[in-house]
Amino acid sequence: MSEQIREQVSAFLDGELPNSETELLLKRLTRDGELRESFGRYALIGEAVRGTTRGGLITRGFTGRVNLAIDGESIPANEHVPHARGPRWWRPFAGAAVAAGVAAVAVVALQQRAVAPTLRPGVPLTAQTAVPAQGALRAASGAVPAPREAISYTVPATSPAAPAATFPARLTNYVFAHSKYSSGLAQRGVMADLLIESDEQQSPAVNEAAAHVAP
């Protein structure tokens, strides 16, 4: 990847790339899967360096140390340094080693979130989870409107020989069905996810018995 493209990616992520150059970058990204991957890493690193992962893994002192590392300056151990920024092209890649560490922490955090023991019904909420007054657990009520239409996305007939393969397809169908009721900004993410072809996600297919096939 050329230095010019690095500059463009960094400037774009900083919201400072001129529109004319943005068009060029966009075309490159559309064509170049490797560049897209790098772009994703830049964005993740950029969020960390900018400190928008607030209150979590990255402290302001950490951000300052990363930026000093980017500038090539030595950093005394445990020294809290002020927020500083290096040349643009440096910032995203900057310290690829540091960035890799940040990414690894993020991944670990995500995995921990996915598998952490969670609250269950009937277990009193802790102080961390509690919300005022009406926050007490409430029982679900009954009278509600009913959906009127079926979802048209279905999985293929299951094969007893390969039951595990039906898991993601079945979930994908649930997500399709759920997308109709996703509210607010979440809808955007659901639709975007469904547009993405994923190696791990089976595409929804057609239930031959239920589908009406038109010419």
- Binders of another protein among residues 43 to 102 (CB under 8 A) are 43-44, 47, 52-57
3-state secondary structure of 154: strand
- Closest contact distance (angstroms) between CB of 35 and another protein is 9
Q: Report whether 98 contacts 66 (CB < 8 A).
A: yes
CA-to-CA separations, 58 to 9, 72, 192, in angstroms, rounded: 23, 20, 28
- Closest contact distance (angstroms) between CB of 117 and another protein is 9
> Which residue of 12, 62, 86, 95 would you call a contact of another protein, by CB under 8 A?
12
By CB under 8 A, is residue 162 in contact with another protein?
Answer: no
Q: How far apart are CA 105 and CA 98, in angstroms?
A: 11
Q: Which is nearer to another protein, 68 or 155 (CB)?
A: 155
Using the contact rule CB under 8 A, the part of the chain among 33-41, 65-73, 80-88, 89-97 near another protein is 33-41
**How many CA atoms within 13 Å lie on the side-chain side of 42?**
22
- Closest contact distance (angstroms) between CB of 129 and another protein is 5
Q: How far apart are CA 211 and CA 200, in angstroms?
A: 25
∠ CA 92-96-101, rounded to 5°: 110
Q: How far apart are CA 170 and CA 201, in angstroms?
A: 10
DSSP 206: -
Using the contact rule CB under 8 A, the part of the chain among 64-72, 74-82, 87-95, 141-149 near another protein is 141-149
Q: Which is nearer to another protein, 89 or 153 (CB)?
A: 153
Closest C-alpha among 8, 43, 36 to residue 24: 8
Q: Which is nearer to another protein, 36 or 80 (CB)?
A: 36
Residues 111-140 that bind another protein (CB under 8 A): 113-116, 118-122, 125, 128-140
Both tokens of residue 133? 């007054």
Q: Which is nearer to another protein, 80 or 188 (CB)?
A: 188
Using the contact rule CB under 8 A, the part of the chain among 69-77, 79-87, 92-100, 148-156 near another protein is 148-156
